Amino acid sequence: MKIAVISPSRSSMQEMARCLGAASHSVVLAEGGKSRMRGMAEQEQPDLMIVEGMCCDVNELDQVEYVTTHFPGVAVVLLCSTNTPEFLIRSMRAGVREVLPSPASPAALDAAVQRIASKLAVPHGRSPGKILAFMPCKGGCGATFLATNFGYQLAASKSVLLIDLNLQFGDALSFLHDGKAPVTIADVARDISRLDSSFLAAAAVRVTPNFSILAAPDDPSAAMEVKPEHIEAILKQAVMQYDFVVLDMARTLDPLTIKALDRAYRIFPVLQAGLPHLRNASRLLAVFRSLDYSTEKIELLVNRFERSGDIGVDAIQRSLGAHRLHTVPNSYKDVNASINHGSALVQTARSNAVARNLAELVTTLSPRVEDGQGVLGRLFRRA
Ligand SMILES: Nc1ncnc2c1ncn2[C@@H]1O[C@H](COP(=O)(O)OP(=O)(O)O)[C@@H](O)[C@H]1O
Ligand SMILES: [Mg+2]
């Protein structure tokens, strides 16, 4: 791993560098405090940043949060000589992975680094994020509702960027946020030569610390400026920065859409259990076959499903073939209340069956790792 160490104490920094270097990590050092974090993240793009000397003052966490938000690929560990429960909780909210007592013993440091390395999965740099595309089979089937709320729930444990690829009439942001996006995907396309991690993070609207949305332009004609090569570049950058990139797709199959679908890890065609939906889904699946997409790449989402309906799961599967199929219940009142409120369903109706159902879908894509410890236990590990 590439590890950046920031500390006001040169001797402590050199001691850590010796210990980390002995474990074959590449280490860069910066003498100073948290104000060095942003510059180090930009210039060095480390996998891990260890920052010593921040203690108790929750106001200091703003600069930490800037880094965890704009550089989701950088894990941050703080070393503090004293702290309070409030500081620990605020650290967690700011996206800090662990808070260790300072000075950290070589054993404690090594153990923390190993825990983080094991989560990074790939020892030399982070593995690219996965692209999940939500594709409506028919207008109004609920693709945007599912993409936004699924993304929101997934972001409880992963970093997620949702990109609204409904370029002309995209409304994804309004499902979770009230207010307009100051910058949209059309602005990013216009300035594509500037695209890097900071530019992408700044262009997206931050809905929660771990979840951002790159919105569609307000003006439908601006959509014409977005070309397939822009999408290619944005997706390439996005997977380097986020664990998951959720795409809210338009119901069109043009070169731009196909470019995005080609890169997807999973495509979720969204339909309802009705004949017009099944007919469209069947056409869409035929196109996917002609594009040589594997059966596993496609998982059907049957939205607003009711067991008492005319068309059951067996009939859908007979008509659409051997894809994984996931049904989402119908819940008109709560779903509409959440959309009208511009808030995620888990926020407005935590125990709603649709929210619980989406939590299950999240688990199939990103199984939870239980370590049997509470939040404070995970954050504050004693040497
Ligand atoms: N699971 C659900 N239960 C009840 N109503 C739903 C559900 N999912 C979506 N809807 C309704 O469908 C409408 C259209 O959803 P939307 O996500 O905009 O569709 P699409 O993006 O496919 O055009 C929403 O405004 C909401 O009223
Ligand atoms: Mg939509």
pLDDT in tens, 90-108: 888 888 999 999 889 999 9
User: pLDDT class for 322, splitting at 50, 70, 90?
Assistant: confident
User: pLDDT class for 383, splitting at 50, 70, 90?
Assistant: very low
At 152-171, the pLDDT tens digits run 999 999 999 999 999 999 99
- In the prediction, which pLDDT does 264 show? 96
Higher pLDDT, 57 or 201: 201
Higher pLDDT, 341 or 124: 341
Q: What separation in Å is there between the alpha carbon of 215 and the centre of ligand 2? A: 12
Angle at 123 between CA 111 and CA 18, to 5 degrees: 50
Name the fold adopted by 2-125.
Rossmann fold (3.40.50)
- Bridge pairing between strands 205-208 and 211-214: antiparallel
Q: What separation in Å is there between the alpha carbon of 146 and the centre of ligand 2? A: 9
In the chain, list all ranges with CATH 3.40.50.300: 130-365
Q: Is 347 left (phi over 0), alpha (psi -120 to 50) or beta?
A: alpha
Residues with CB under 5 A from ligand 2 (ion): 144
Regarding the beta carbon of 48 and ligand 1, being less than 6 Å apart is answered: no
Asked whether residue 123 carries a pLDDT value surpassing 50, the answer given is no
Q: Is 304 left (phi over 0), alpha (psi -120 to 50) or beta?
A: left
In the chain, list all ranges with CATH 3.40.50.2300: 2-125
Residue written as token pair 């067996």:
314
| pLDDT mean across residues, the chain | 90
- In the prediction, which pLDDT does 371 show? 44
CA-based nearest residue to 365, from 244, 214, 263: 244
Candidates 145, 168, 169, 331: which one to mutate for ligand 1, based on the most atoms within 8 Å of Cβ?
A: 145
Tell me which residue has its CA closest to atom 23 in ligand 1: 140
- In the prediction, which pLDDT does 267 show? 98
User: pLDDT class for 1, splitting at 50, 70, 90?
Assistant: confident
Q: What separation in Å is there between the alpha carbon of 33 and the centre of ligand 2? A: 45
Asked whether residue 289 carries a pLDDT value surpassing 50, the answer given is yes
- In the prediction, which pLDDT does 120 show? 63
Strands (E), the chain: 2-7, 26-31, 48-52, 75-80, 98-101, 130-136, 160-164, 205-208, 211-214, 244-248, 266-272, 299-305, 324-329
Asked whether residue 124 carries a pLDDT value surpassing 50, the answer given is no
What mean pLDDT comes out for the span 271-298? 96
Q: Rounded to an integer, what distance in angstroms lies between the CA atom of residue 203 and that of residue 136? A: 25
- In the prediction, which pLDDT does 122 show? 46
Asked whether residue 292 carries a pLDDT value surpassing 50, the answer given is yes
User: pLDDT class for 218, splitting at 50, 70, 90?
Assistant: very high
At 27-77, the pLDDT tens digits run 899 999 889 999 999 888 888 999 998 776 777 888 899 998 888 778 999
Is 130-365 assigned to CATH 3.40.50.620?
no
- In the prediction, which pLDDT does 382 show? 43
What mean pLDDT comes out for the span 293-298? 95
